Amino acid sequence: MAGTLYVVATPLGNLEDLSPRAAATLRGVTAVAAEDTRRSKTLLVHVGSEAELISFHAHSSDSAARRILHLLGTGKDVALVTDAGTPTVSDPGASLVAAARERDVPVVSIPGPTAVAAALGVSGLPADRYVFLGFLPRKGSERRRLLEVIAVSEWTVVVFESPNRVNELFQDLVAVCGEERCAVLARELTKVFEETRAGTLVELADYYAQAPVRGEVTVVVSGTGRPPREEPPPPDPEARARTLLAQGMSRRDVADRLAEETGISRNSAYRLVNEL
């Protein structure tokens, strides 16, 4: 029989947040697949586990996954942990879980801390429905797209951010969401220097433009409270062309208007008008 892959949530910082079930699981498995073996070693020593530590992170070679799957296939139990919080939430563990399921390996959740829920809980913002976007790309079109998702989201949005990019994030959020949207920054949750700061986006942008940020950061942004406005579909090019031609417009002017209103290229618009 195959072993079991345990997905074990670990403390965000305070080791006392580790559940007794999680501690027992870490003591009972043959190996622990860890994002950072140095950090996880401290946890294993804390619970008295002698499990083998295997490095498994976003840049691991395929051999690391094969080794873990081999252990599972030979009946050994393995625990998957991340640096802090719940594995597979904005970390590479999902690929290992998927590979284990493909091989009919039992996968068991050992739930516990997660920065997403912890930040939502202290934010004071609605959390009955929310959107989690993880770390935003540093730049480019995908970053702009996700910032727009935040801007129009009906529901609260949670993102992770590197401490040295917090100021840039708030500046971008002000630009797309406006100054008065409410937000919360939760930093170093459960640790000695835990901080939660709430305010409008412009207030937080002004504050963190002057105050350096250290540690793990989670940002919670309030939603609009209303469904996103649905843009009407562009008009049908042929039907619109017939209408404009019937109004007496020249073929060239119709093609220009058609390209502007429907998004098709000007060459395509001119060809369509000529065919009509």
- Please name which of 220, 214, 217 lies closest in space to residue 198, comparing C-alpha atoms: 220
Q: What is the pLDDT of residue 231?
A: 67
Q: What is the pLDDT of residues 175-200, one digit of tens each?
A: 999 999 999 999 999 999 999 999 99
Beta strands 52-55 and 156-161 are unpaired
Is residue 184 a contact partner of residue 124, using CB atoms and an 8 Å limit?
yes
Q: What is the pLDDT of residue 113?
A: 95
Q: What is the pLDDT of residues 219-276, one digit of tens each?
A: 999 999 988 776 677 778 888 888 888 888 888 888 898 888 888 888 888 888 888 8
Average pLDDT over residues 149-156: 96
Band (pLDDT 50/70/90 cuts) for residue 174 is very high
Tokens of 167: 């100021």
CB atoms within 10 A of CB 262: 18
Task: Concatenate the DSSP letters of all residues of 109-166 into one string.
Answer: EE----HHHHHHHHH-S--SSEEEEEEPPSSSHHHHHHHHHHHH-SSEEEEEE-GGGH
Gap between the Cα atoms of 69 and 79, Å rounded: 12
> Sheet harboring 78-81: ordered strands across?
52-55, 31-34, 78-81, 5-8, 107-110
